[in-house]
Structure 1
Amino acid sequence: MRTCNKLAFGAVAALMMLGPVAVGADNPPAYASATEAYRQGVSAMNSGRTAAAIPALEYAAKRGVLGAQLKLAKAYAAGRDVPKDDAKAFSYFQQIADQYADISASSPIANYVGEAFVALGQYSLDGVPAMSLAPNPGYAADLFRHAASYFGNAEAQYQLAHLYLTGDGVEKDPSLAVNWLATAAKKQHAAAQATLGELLWRGEEVRQRRARGLALITLAHENAAAAGKEPQWIGDLYQEALAKSDGATRKEADALLPELGGVNKATAAAVAKVEPANPTMIPADKALEHVAPTASATPASAAAASASQGGAPPPAPIGLSVGFGATSPGSAIKP
């Protein structure tokens, strides 16, 4: 027994002589920095190594790298490369909205923040059963309104217009709906062009203007087809409007296309094709590598931008950066 005690004491003494053991020395951090983790995650994702990509992106996302948060949110929302998980997608989109709700609308990352608000608005509109989030059209309207007014997001403008058309979550207001549709249509948003075009072509909620309506529907069809993802309802609407329009209406609609952002077919046929110059592009991933949350910015610049968008309603005085997760008092949504 005494021999065992001596051996034990000797072992302890030997350890003390060796000095303190460096905790974690054999397990250094997996990544040199959050930015490096993001880069490795993106590289792994692009090469199909999802198992390596997700931990790297999660590491970066937890440390506030916007690009990582956005990639994970979109991946889980679409079920692309990972199993679809709306609760996780909502959590990452929420992180982005909480951190950047009032970032300057002229910031290089403003478009990405606007996308996060649109995604959250859609989740609030539909609900997320996996996290017991009930549909809340009124709150969805607030989210769409912030993205539409402050960030000038065309999809948010379209979604908000749709709510004003149906009166879902807001007081029905066709005039305001048409205003938002027109704003989004000028940005070549196909669904907004088709919806506004149908209202004008059929004379629903607005004075009937068949030629302008047909022009917008045509432009919507062309834009959606060019994007390679034309919804069936746009294609069906285009075929119906074209079939039921006489020659004079078609000719007038074609003449209106340049005014609406399209190309007059007669002019296009006469002009030789010119190869466009390659613009200098900054990869989106580079803009998202070093992004830290900023203090809330004044909405003044966003208000000015919205005012210049051709009759868009002024941005609502809404700041959702604080307590964003709460859909109602005492009902905070936790990641």
Structure 2
Amino acid sequence: MDFAAKIYVAGHRGLAGGAIVRSLQRKSFNNLLLRTHAEVDLTSQGAVDAFFAAEKPDYVFLAAAKVGGIHANNAYPAEFIRDNLAIQTNVIHSAWKHGAKKLLFLGSSCIYPKLAPQPMPESCLLTGPLEPTNEWYAVAKIAGIKMCQAYRRQYGFDAISAMPTNLYGPGDNFHLENSHVMPALIRKFHEAKERGDSEVVMWGTGTPRREFLHVDDLGDALVFLMENYSDEEFVNVGVGDDVTIRELAELIRDVVGFEGAITQDLSKPDGTPRKLMDVSRLTSLGWKARIGLRDGVRETYRWFIENQERFRR
């Protein structure tokens, strides 16, 4: 990418989008187009088309999405499939229509079958049933991958896709019910410590295994792919290692300094038993994650402490 190129980061206020912006700025890409939802409603075809017609970005990072954990996916299935389909359809089509040189679509590891082989290679997409608790989001993301492939095949549009594993880091959502497992646990342990509680309740059995990628590693990987990759096949982005939810909870308890017990709410669902990415394709291109889990959790906890007042509203 030329340093003078116009780069549009859709979803720049989100966890992933914010990391993309930080990575671009570290690499001295400063001609960034950043718009809030109030400025451009990405679910509106007319608003998106008008934005692209006026600004004509050269490169597009499509990180905007409606996201959430197990509870949110179960509670709002219509919104998860409707809003995500609308956002990606509008942005991909307008980017092609108005002459963008390249687009990167950001998906999710939940696109894979519930019982996919571990670690999950890109080739196992659409080889089995999805995890029921997030299938609405997964179906939308699969459609986004296929749309990028279709526009590449039919129109020669340089659209690529990247599928990140579970993300965490500065800017995460720490809502106790609608967030992902790591930020929810960080907040639970912190507030339990403040109150002097004797225990923290963890959802499910604690046995599912999850892979966690620091969001700044993701940002670096996506800029790397934008500059170095052009192919129809999508690319997994992860660390290639995982931990149990119980192990994660114990690590967070240690980082926060909570001295009580960890108990389980077995009425809550576990979700997919394991979701470990096969990252050999990305590794072969020359990129590897650099932020270790403990260091990443420490940094995320510091960010939460500095910003916690916004989460109490």
Into which bin does the TM-score normalised by the smaller protein fall?
under 0.3
Q: Which has the higher contact order (CA 8 A, sep 6+)?
A: 2
Q: TM-score, normalised by structure 2?
A: 0.24
Q: TM-score, normalised by structure 1?
A: 0.23
Structure number with the higher helix fraction is 1
Which structure's CA Rg is the greater one? 1
